[in-house]
Amino acid sequence: MLTVAVLALDGVIPFDLSTPIEVFNRTRLPDGRPAYRVRVCGLGGPVDSGAFHLTPPWGLDALADADTIIIPGCADPAAPLPPRVLGALRSAAADGTRIASICAGAFVLAATGLLDGRRATTHWLATKRLAEAYPEVEVDPDVLYVDNGQFLTSAGAAAGLDLCLHLIRRDHGSAVAADAARLSVMPLEREGGQAQFIVHDQPPTPRGSELEPVLKWMQDNADRALSLDDIAEQAGMSCRTLNRRFREQTGTTPLQWLLRARIRQAQYLLEATDHSIERISGQAGFGSSTAFRERFKKIVGTSPYAYRAAFQTAEAR
């Protein structure tokens, strides 16, 4: 039987804490035996999760005996990591223990230095903050989880389930993992990454800037086949000047800004209407449904059909 140690620190997010406890505790081998023993570990004494207090039955010394350590997210990712926790995680890593983080738990794992030079992820709302705090970590905001072998990280909330099922499949194979997925009422693999859950707001429009009129015009005419020359003519400047002003004021190019506006419009239409994919591709300015599918998949991380299935409102069905 494998041992999973779940680290509970002050501010631990209850959902992140409970996910590995439930998933691993419920997992059974083909002969019915438990696949894992789960131990909740802490510094000693009560832990404040915000919604409730708990007292972990095991201390940090239990991390040394674990096959896998799970680090749930904490409400304040910037909270300093206690030196004892830092030392215990580094010591376990040196002994070859597998360590995985859920959601903002990536900040704890990154603080140990164990993610330096490695790819990692966290909740999409915190990916920029993680990259800024730990520039040696290659942060990927689009995936549900990253498996580096010994060290793994997941995106936020439900992505912790995906990570746990992945670990079970690594340990015991697809059949055991599929049974665990059914108990969790989850598919063993979900289509797309966390990019599909990121809110792609309309691209920023700098208020009061000289670009504001042309940005509004681009948004209003996004369904048309606009070229860089068309946009430059509307703006009353050369293509070269237009590109320079766009980079200065929006951080991107005119055509990339337009593409983001079209993707957001397509997302809205997929969510709020029952229009066909072919019709939406024209309404959003993609010209052909093939081009629409390719660009949507590249940016959002899933197909228009799958996005609609996940996010279409009841009123639009």
Q: Measured between alpha carbons, how far is 153 from 124 in angstroms, rounded to an integer?
A: 13
pLDDT of residue 197: 53
For residues 159-171, give the mean pLDDT: 89
For residues 202-227, give the mean pLDDT: 77
Task: Please report the domains of the chain, with CATH numbers, ordered by start residue.
Answer: 2-184 (3.40.50.880), 211-313 (1.10.10.60)
Report the b/e string of 174-202 with b at 16+ CB within 10 A. eebbebbbeebebebebebbbbbbbebee
pLDDT of residue 68: 97
pLDDT tens across 34-75, in order?
999 999 999 988 999 998 999 999 999 999 999 999 999 999
pLDDT tens across 115-155, in order?
999 999 999 889 999 999 999 999 988 888 898 889 999 98
DSSP string, 76-93: -TTSPPPHHHHHHHHHHH
pTM for this model (two decimals): 0.68
Of the chain, the end-to-end C-alpha distance in Å amounts to 47
